[in-house]
Amino acid sequence: MITKKNIYLGLSILVFVITMFTILTSNQSHGVLDNSLSIHWIVLLIFTLLLPIFNLAEIILNRNDWSKFYWLGLIFNILTIFFVMRFFKIELLAELFN
């Protein structure tokens, strides 16, 4: 039976793999979202922003049930966010220290 934790983990892995494939097959790196984006980047960015919120909500709501699936999905989400930030040359810490 497919449960919510399996769906979140599967979506997190799928978004991570698709993001890696898109980054590796792209000929150029984008600037800080100044160019027009194709539809697949828009969908990937929406999933990249929403999946960690859903995983964190499930971790907070199910405090008594320590599920490895939600935590593993959250790790994949954080890795995806890191690679997307590197691809679009978004440097958050550089702005804080300058």
Mean pLDDT of 20-49: 76
Token look-up 């810490």 returns: 93
Mean pLDDT of 53-76: 86
Q: Using 50, 70 and 90 to split pLDDT, how confident is the model at 28? A: low
Q: Quote the pTM value.
A: 0.80
| Residue extents of the structural domains in the chain | 4-97
Residue 7 reports pLDDT greater than 70: yes
* Distance from C-alpha of 72 to C-alpha of 14, rounded to nearest angstrom: 13
